[in-house]
Amino acid sequence: MTAATDPGNDADLAATLSARLAEVRERMAAAAARAGRAPSEVTLVAVTKTVPSAVVRIAATIGLDTFGENRVQEAQEKIGALGNVSASLRWELIGHLQTNKAARAADLFSRIQSVDSLRLAEALNAHAGERGAVLPVLIEVNVAGEASKSGFAPEQLLEVARMLVALPHLRVEGLMTVAPQADDAESVRPVFRRLRALRDTLAATVPTPSGGWHELSMGMTDDYEVAIEEGATIIRVGRALFGARPPLATH
Ligand SMILES: *Cc1c(COP(=O)(O)O)cnc(C)c1O
């Protein structure tokens, strides 16, 4: 694992990030090719939790434009700090969202990947509605049923999906999952396969106004290649780009 990036020297840092990005893109392309898919079918979300704004700013100059954050407050600070870099930057929420922060999140993020309760979905719908907006969301699924993880159980999905697609100010675009931690990426392949099967079932049984259910957000630093082989359309990669996070900052 690469060491945490030192924001001391911007040119060195840009070169380091560029090299890591090139490697991730190469591996993404190889994984897509193994599955007979085009690399353009997979969106890379660069996960910037715990990464300082100064580093994210440099990342935005080397070809990264979509960033994932877990916490509203941290994201708000970075979005403010990078506001003048480019109008085309996208920020997506990938972590658990408390309902009392739904209004701020609906304002800040291009998409909420981590919708994990009906209450939250209703709050996001209400706040998007107040702004006359339609907010893109993914439904988070706890495929492996881990007590430590948020997300709906697979058994709840059909009913939840029917309720969410009826909310006029949300656009349900697909599913998201965080696979269990494993030493061997191969061992989480069934989790990704299951998420894809769940998505295919929903696509066949729950029509959305916008023809949704396209997106499958799955795969992180340790398993994104397997996820792409199993159909991921979005991968969320932090450490492979920015280096190891501080040990306690596992949020
Ligand atoms: C931290 C995080 C990631 C990125 O994890 P890496 O192992 O650093 O690639 C992806 N998704 C979620 C939900 C995360 O919290």
- Per-position DSSP letters for 152-174, written without gaps between them: B-GGGHHHHHHHHHT-TTEEEEE
Where residue 4 falls among pLDDT bands split at 50, 70, 90? low
Cα separation, 249 vs 251, in Å, equals 5
Our answer on whether the CB atom of 20 is closer than 6 Å to any ligand 1 atom is no
Whether pLDDT at 98 is above 50: yes
Q: What would the mean pLDDT of 66-82 be, rounded to a whole number?
A: 96
Give the per-residue pLDDT at 12: 93
Mean pLDDT of all residues in the chain? 94
- Distance from C-alpha of 13 to C-alpha of 231, rounded to nearest angstrom: 32
Is 70 exceeded by the pLDDT of residue 162? yes
In the prediction, which pLDDT does 212 show? 81
Q: Read off the pLDDT of each residue in 111-118 and give the average, rounded to a whole number.
A: 98
Q: In angstroms, what is the span from residue 132 Cα to ligand 1's centroid?
A: 31
Cβ of residue 95 lying under 6 Å from some atom of ligand 1: yes
Say if residues 103 and 124 touch (Cβ distance below 8 Å).
no
**238-248 pLDDT, tens digit each:** 999 999 998 86
% of residues, the chain, pLDDT over 70: 95
Reported confidence tier of residue 113, pLDDT bands at 50, 70, 90: very high
Q: What pLDDT is attached to residue 231?
A: 98
For the Cβ of 238 lying below 6 angstroms from any atom of ligand 1, the answer is yes
- Residue listed under structure tokens 């069934």: 190
Whether residue 47 is predicted with pLDDT greater than 70 in this model: the reply is yes
Q: What average pLDDT does the segment 198-214 reach?
A: 90
